[in-house]
Amino acid sequence: MNCEDYRQAIAADPSFDGGAGHLSECAACQTYRNEMIILDQTINRALLLDVPELHVPELPELSTSRPDNVIALRKRSWLPQSSPAWIAIAATVVVAALLSIRLIGTGIEYDSLADEILAHVDHEPFALRVTDETVSDERLAAAVPANVAQLGRSTGLITYAQSCVINGHQVPHLVIQGERGPVTILLMPEEMINAAQQFTGENVNGVILPVGNGSIAILGESEERLDRIKEQVLKSVTWST
Amino acid sequence: MQSSKNAVERRQRFDQYVGVYHQDMYRYAAWLSRDKAIAEDVVQEALLRAWKSLDALREDSSAKQWLLTIVRRENARYFERKRLEAVDIDNLTASQAALLAEQPNEELDDMRQAIYELDDDYREPLVLQVLMGYSTNEIAEQMGLKQGAVLTRLHRARAKLKEQMARQ
């Protein structure tokens, strides 16, 4: 290590403890190191602003009610219109049982798929980073198992990939970088809908698109133009089943 | 009964995080926005968002980074909403100037002014490293940068501050 390398390292991080060999032989770098440590102490003291008294804002009750600015989607219908009454009753019992299990687990019930998607995205703020770093192939493969869906190359720059639970199903949750910021994509092979459904939330707009026997939700900032993204996502996703 | 117990536990958990990390949240917001009044607004919004999203936080050890990420996003949202113009150092508002008039100490005043004048790209990693104790890896993750870029920014930030302080 020479003087330039050492000084760059110590200026980037004054706690850098490498280069001991060079340091023991170079008085100039010892002086530089001491100067950096003193500089850092001054920086630290300057950054320690006085903090005003904490006023915790009024915290809303976390209920099932929908925010005013969220457009409700039509309730999903799980049964064909012509189903016999006993099927409907049996299905109701099953759905009620499943819902009870979910409520015990999360304590939250959602009015619509869109509401659950909005809440889910809000619960993972760390997913929405502006970045040009893509996720690893291993991470992507774990989030989007081959038996769920195949992703083509035109999906976009995928910067987040996770397997998440939406409406009781494990679904791939991806984030790509749009023109206005990160865009969330949820691949939901088991959420069948009849037609595309637009929805909005706080500073966001989204759409749930019917794709085969499932659907795909795309959600971006309010001013994000989702049309182009819709096109590339639809081109690149194929359900495996 | 169970749900009210859950609500109490949730609130206790929230209060605990806020108690421990409120100062970090405020200082981070203040140095991001360079304005004390905006920092208070940003922290209020961040607390609300954290409250709504609390169930997403699974590990206590991630609480600080999670809260600071929320502050960062709320700050970005604030500036996007307000579409604020770049700060002119010669025409500061009272709330901006308050950031520079903390303690009556000439050396610290000079340093605070020098930090204030750093570009956002240099100031933020410096605050995360020096004040929040982040490693360069963690800063890279928080800012969506490569570690090499973070090291370069930190090196340049200190070089600028050193030069600025030498001029005073």
The answer to whether residue B17 sits within a structural domain is yes
- Count of domains observed in chain B: 2
Out of A36, A49, A122, closest to residue B52 by CB: A122
**CATH assignment of A112-239, among 2.60.40, 3.40.1000, 1.10.150, 3.30.420:** 3.40.1000
pLDDT of residue A131: 67
Looking at chain B from residue 136 to 165, which residues have their Cβ under 8 Å from any Cβ of chain A? 136, 144-146, 150-152, 154-155, 158-159, 161-162, 165
B31 with B81, same domain: the answer is: yes
Average pLDDT, chain A: 79
B52 with B124, same domain: the answer is: no
Choose one of B88, B119, B143: the last residue of a domain: B88
Chain A residue at shortest CA distance from B151: A12
Q: Which of B30, B100, B136 is nearest to A46 (CA)?
A: B100
B132 with B83, same domain: the answer is: no
Instruction: Judge whether B70 and A82 are in contact, CB under 8 Å.
Output: no
The answer to whether residue B159 sits within a structural domain is yes
CATH of the domain at B56: 1.10.1740.10
Contacts of B113-119 with C-beta under 8 Å, sequence gap 24+, read B114/B160, B114/B161, B114/B164, B114/B165, B115/A43, B115/A46, B115/A47, B115/B31, B115/B161, B116/B34, B116/B89, B117/B89, B117/B164, B118/B157, B118/B160, B118/B161
Specify the higher pLDDT residue, A103 or A197: A197
Chain B residue at shortest CA distance from A40: B130
Model confidence at B60, pLDDT cuts 50, 70, 90, reads confident
B52 with B75, same domain: the answer is: yes
The set of residues, in sequence order, having a beta carbon less than 8 Å from that of A226 and lying 6+ positions away, is A183, A205, A206, A207, A218, A220
What would the mean pLDDT of B117-145 be, rounded to a whole number?
Answer: 91
CA A66, chain centre distance (Å): 21
Model confidence at B161, pLDDT cuts 50, 70, 90, reads very high
What would the mean pLDDT of A160-181 be, rounded to a whole number?
Answer: 86
The answer to whether residue B94 sits within a structural domain is no
The mean-pLDDT minimum among A120-129, A210-219, B147-156 falls in A120-129
The answer to whether residue B96 sits within a structural domain is no
pLDDT of residue B149: 93
Residue A57 to residue B146, Cβ atoms within 8 A:
no
pLDDT of residue B103: 62
Angstrom distance (rounded) from CA A124 to CA A108: 16
pLDDT of residue A41: 93
Chain B residue at shortest CA distance from A180: B80
**Best B58, B112, B113, B120 residue to mutate vs chain A (most A CBs within 10 Å):** B112
The answer to whether residue B106 sits within a structural domain is yes
Q: Which of B15, B38, B17 is nearest to B28 (CA)?
A: B38
Residue B158 to residue A39, Cβ atoms within 8 A:
yes
Most confident of A127-141, B75-89, B126-140: B126-140
The answer to whether residue B76 sits within a structural domain is yes
Specify the higher pLDDT residue, B128 or A177: B128
B81 with B59, same domain: the answer is: yes
**pLDDT of A130 strictly over 50:** yes
**pLDDT of B14 strictly over 80:** yes
The answer to whether residue B95 sits within a structural domain is no
Give me the phi and psi of A177, to 5 degrees please: -95, 120
B51 CB near a chain A CB, below 8 Å? yes
B70 with B9, same domain: the answer is: yes
B134 with B71, same domain: the answer is: no
Q: What is the pLDDT of residues A195-239, one digit of tens each?
A: 899 998 877 889 999 998 899 999 998 878 888 888 888 888 989
Q: How many residues does chain A have?
A: 241
The mean-pLDDT minimum among A29-43, A123-137, A211-225, B108-122 falls in A123-137
pLDDT of residue A84: 53
Nearest chain B Cα distance for residue A54, angstroms: 8
Model confidence at A63, pLDDT cuts 50, 70, 90, reads low
Chain B residue at shortest CA distance from A57: B44
**pLDDT of B39 strictly over 50:** yes
Angstrom distance (rounded) from CA A43 to CA B112: 8
Model confidence at B155, pLDDT cuts 50, 70, 90, reads very high
B147 with B76, same domain: the answer is: no
- Angle value at C-alpha A176, between A173 and A182, nearest 5 degrees: 100
Structure tokens at B6: 């859950």
**pLDDT of A118 strictly over 70:** yes
Q: Which residues of B touch A37 (CB under 8 A)?
A: none
**pLDDT of B87 strictly over 60:** no
Q: Which residues of B touch A106 (CB under 8 A)?
A: 55
The answer to whether residue B155 sits within a structural domain is yes
B108 with B75, same domain: the answer is: no
Q: Which residues of B touch A52 (CB under 8 A)?
A: 26, 36, 40
Domain, as residue range, for B148: 102-168
B70 with B136, same domain: the answer is: no
Model confidence at A76, pLDDT cuts 50, 70, 90, reads very low
B82 with B106, same domain: the answer is: no
Residue A39 to residue B66, Cβ atoms within 8 A:
no
Residue B161 to residue A43, Cβ atoms within 8 A:
yes
CATH of the domain at B111: 1.10.10.10
Place of tokens 């009750």: A61
Q: What is the percent of chain A with per-residue pLDDT over 90, rounded to a whole number?
A: 26
The set of residues, in sequence order, having a beta carbon less than 8 Å from that of B91 and lying 6+ positions away, is none
B84 with B144, same domain: the answer is: no
pLDDT of residue B41: 92
pTM above 0.95, yes or no: no
Strand order in the sheet with A197-201: A158-166, A169-177, A182-188, A214-221, A204-211, A197-201
Residue A125 to residue B126, Cβ atoms within 8 A:
no
Angstrom distance (rounded) from CA B124 to CA A15: 18
Burial state string for B54-72 with b = 16 or more CB within 10 A and e = fewer than 16: bebbeeeeebbbbbbbbbb
Out of A11, A124, A130, closest to residue B144 by CB: A130
Q: Which of A5, A159, A9 is nearest to B150 (CA)?
A: A9
Q: Measured on CA atoms in the order A151, A157, A162, A165, is the torsion positive or negative?
A: negative
Q: Which residues of B touch A4 (CB under 8 A)?
A: none
Q: What is the pLDDT of residues B71-84, one digit of tens each?
A: 998 888 887 765 54
Q: What is the percent of chain B with per-residue pLDDT over 70, rounded to a whole number?
A: 83
